Amino acid sequence: MKRINKVVIPAAGLGTRFLPATKAQPKEMLPLVDKPAIQHVVEEAVAAGLRDILIITGRGKRSLEDHFDRSFELEHYLAEAGRFDMVKEMRAIAEMADIHYVRQGEPRGLGHAVAVARQHVGDEPFAVMLGDDIMTGRSTVLSDMVALHERYGRSVVALKEFARSEISSYGCALPEAVEDNLVRILDVVEKPKPEDAPSNLAVMGRYVFTPEIFDCLEQVHPGANGEIQLTDAMAILLKHQTIYGYVFEDGRYDIGDKLDYLRATVELAIDREDLGPKFRLFLADLVQRKKLI
């Protein structure tokens, strides 16, 4: 069995949930404190031992490539100013992984974005990480999923419990318990009505797939708005292979959602050694002054 070392990060979406901030910049470049969201995702992949990364981009996403490239002018300016620690940090961004790019061409859904990666991935297992989903630094979801794939040799999908009233915003899995935090997925439905949902387990933006998912994607018929749904391909794959679900609880934020974006920013800030102590004091004082609790 081949070990996973490739990651696909779909980043071609228009970011309409965060307009007007995303009118002239990619949503993946929105900062969480002082680091763009896409860098958090790449660092998570690298921490899990995955350094061959393909980012699926679209029009207006050139700044993603620029961010992970060397900036000799900036490095020269920082060096002239004696800011050598910052020079080292800027170079580390460009050297943390082998990052490749391909354009999706037109926004035709998550399934189509993953299908675009077929030539790069080939016949190897690979991970998919959505740029909207940010895991806090202490999360081990991706590395745990990679370990489960190495153990079972099958696809693994991240799952999280949600209230029935919220499940219609996600793909939803019908589970069969295997062991703690691990289920066998029997069926998956894209954005079901609450009364039709097979469970309260929603599919999150971390996946580990066997290469057979690409053949399944070719069989998917476009749905609403001409989009090819990844969950439809997963449903086809389930007819031939087991797909496992890794159930986790904390550490995930959807930074395409404004409230979750604020939550992620706060949590990441209070966990930092340079900002956390003073920021926690500020938050405590704010709560007291505004009588928020």
Express each pLDDT in 183-231 by its tens digit.
999 999 888 888 888 899 999 999 999 999 999 999 998 876 788 999 9
> Does 1 map to a domain?
no
Q: Quote the radius of gyration of the chain (alpha carbons, Å).
A: 20
Residue 255: count other Cβ atoms within 10 Å of its Cβ: 24
Query: In the prediction, which pLDDT does 281 show?
Result: 93
Q: How confident is the model at residue 139 (pLDDT cuts 50, 70, 90)?
A: confident
Residue 144 sits at φ, ψ, to 5 deg, of -65, -40
Let me know whether 271 and 212 are in one domain.
no
In a domain, 181, yes or no: yes
| 111, 36: one domain | yes
Distance CA 266, CA 255 (A): 12
| 170 & 101 share domain | yes
| Residue 280's pLDDT band (cuts 50, 70, 90) | very high
Q: Where in the sequence is the domain holding 53, given as residue range(s)?
A: 6-256
291 and 242, same structural domain?
no
pLDDT for the residue numbered 95: 93
Section 239-248 average pLDDT: 95
- Report whether pLDDT(2) > 80: no
Task: Kindly indicate the confidence band of residue 270, based on its pLDDT and cuts at 50, 70 and 90.
Answer: very high
pLDDT per residue as tens digits for the range 152-194? 999 999 999 998 888 888 889 999 999 989 999 999 988 888 8
Residue matched to tokens 């793909």: 171
Rounded CA separation 201/160 (Å):
5
Query: Which has the higher per-residue pLDDT, 246 or 195?
Result: 246
What span, in angstroms and rounded, lies between the C-alpha atoms of 205 and 130? 5
199 and 284 share one domain: no
Burial 14-31 (b: 16+ CB within 10 A, else e): ebebbeeebeeebbbbbe
pLDDT by residue (tens digit) across 249-268? 888 998 888 999 999 999 99
Please check whether residue 12 lies inside any domain of the structure.
yes
Position 37 pLDDT exceeds 70: yes
Domain count, the chain: 2
Does the structure show a pLDDT above 90 at 145?
A: yes
CATH code of the domain covering residue 187: 3.90.550.10
- Do 62 and 182 sit in the same domain of this protein? yes
CB 64 within 8 A of CB 57: yes
Instruction: Please tell me whether residues 117 and 198 are part of one structural domain.
Output: yes
pLDDT for 182: 96
Residues 60 and 139 in one domain: yes
Over residues 1-10, mean pLDDT: 88
d(CA 106, CA 113) in angstroms, rounded, equals: 9
- The pLDDT of residue 194 is 86
Structure tokens at 182: 């691990």
Question: Is 197 in the same domain as 267?
Answer: no
Strands 155-161 and 201-209, bridge-based pairing: antiparallel
| Residue 215 CB partners (closer than 8 Å, separation 6+) | none
pLDDT of 87 > 90? The answer is yes
- Are 87 and 207 part of one and the same domain? yes
Q: How confident is the model at residue 16 (pLDDT cuts 50, 70, 90)?
A: confident
Phi, psi of 199 (to 5 degrees): -165, -170
Query: Does residue 215 form part of some domain?
Result: yes
Query: Do 193 and 266 belong to one domain?
Result: no
CB-count burial class (<10 Å; 0-12, 13-18, 19+) for 245: buried
Q: Is 177 left (phi over 0), alpha (psi -120 to 50) or beta?
A: beta
**Domain annotation covers residue 111:** yes
Report residue 135 as tokens: 């895991």
pLDDT value for 206? 95
What pLDDT does 12 receive? Answer: 83
Is 66 inside any structural domain? yes
Counting residues of the chain whose pLDDT is more than 90, the rounded percentage is: 68
Is residue 292's pLDDT more than 70?
no
Which of 148, 139, 120 lies closest to 208, judged by CA?
A: 148
pTM over 0.85: yes
d(CA 243, CA 82): 53
- Kindly state whether residues 212 and 67 are assigned to the same domain: yes
**E strands in 83-220:** 98-103, 126-129, 133-135, 155-161, 171-179, 182-190, 201-209
